[in-house]
Structure 1
Amino acid sequence: MTNPSTWKRSSFSGGGEGNDCVEVAHLDTHIAVRDSKAPTRATLTFPTVSFSRFVEALKEAGR
């Protein structure tokens, strides 16, 4: 898998050091997701369309 060069941390990263969250990176056709506390461990990837729908569903659920 291509190693994403730019990871973005969630703006909802908890208190303290702000490292209790996930990070995402945009690949060509997928979104990569990793645990910010263990960035060298497993990375999940999702098709961009599926990940976008997932995020939209979370936003709707939070309203």
Structure 2
Amino acid sequence: MILWQKSTFSSGSDGANCVEVAASEEQVLLRESDDPDRILPLTPTGLAALLQRLQAGGRVRR
């Protein structure tokens, strides 16, 4: 069972437009609350790189 936690930076109290995170032994999982079946699995190193790119104002390609 995966336990999801809503980001404290998510807006609104109705649960919409939220980023959620969960952790397994080897990965960090990210998803949007409005599309919970689309999950982005990342290694801790991959998550750190993603966050650095976003903080630097870089775009993320799909």
> Counterpart of 2:44 in structure 1: which amino acid?
T
Q: C-alpha displacement at 1:36, in angstroms?
A: 0.8
**Runs in 1 of length 4+ with deviation above 2 angstroms?**
52-55, 57-61
For normalisation by structure 2, the TM-score amounts to: 0.66
CA distance in 1, matches of 2:54, 2:31: 20
Q: Which runs of 5+ in 1 are unaligned?
A: none
| Structure 1 position 11 matched with structure 2 position 29 | no
Which of these residues, 25, 30, 33, is aligned with residue 27 of structure 2? 30
> Counterpart of 1:17 in structure 2: which amino acid?
D
Q: Note the aligned Cα RMSD (angstroms).
A: 2.4
Identity among equivalent positions (%) equals: 29
Q: Which runs of 5+ in 2 are unaligned?
A: 57-62
Q: C-alpha displacement at 1:58, in angstroms?
A: 6.5
For normalisation by structure 1, the TM-score amounts to: 0.65
Q: C-alpha displacement at 1:60, in angstroms?
A: 5.6
